[in-house]
Amino acid sequence: MANNYKNSKVDLINTNVTVLYTAPAATQAIIKSILVSNDSASASTVTLTITDSATAVFSVYKLESVGAVSTEELLKSPLIVMENEILKVTAADANRLHVIASYLELS
């Protein structure tokens, strides 16, 4: 079994649903951290969902507030992502938020 520490980064330049991470086939991931940085002078919100292999969408965080020129850690404990599951983020406002997920992949 291989263990690989990795991260995924997205700049939310619009308000579309954006893929942050997809667990590869035969792989699970332990998401240790999801940081959301707001580089604008106005507060914003972010939504985080996980889509399972059957395409059902589950809300992890809904409209989580991120203050102006600040960073928020979304996770209070690790989040397990199973193979083919997808983490997605959506910003309420364009060109304000950057998201970084740090995780350990197990395959």
- pLDDT digit string, tens, across residues 6-32: 999 999 999 999 999 999 999 999 999
Kindly state which CATH superfamily the domain 3-106 is placed in: Nucleoplasmin core domain (2.60.120.340)
Distances from the Cα of 87 to the Cαs of 10, 15, 16, 56, 67, in angstroms?
Answer: 12, 16, 14, 12, 22
Burial 21-59 (b: 16+ CB within 10 A, else e): bbbeeebbbebeebbbebeeeeebbbbbbbbeeeeeeee
pLDDT of residue 2: 85
Neighbours of 88 (CB within 10 A): 19
Is 80 exceeded by the pLDDT of residue 1? no
- pLDDT digit string, tens, across residues 26-70: 999 999 999 999 999 999 999 999 999 889 999 999 999 999 999
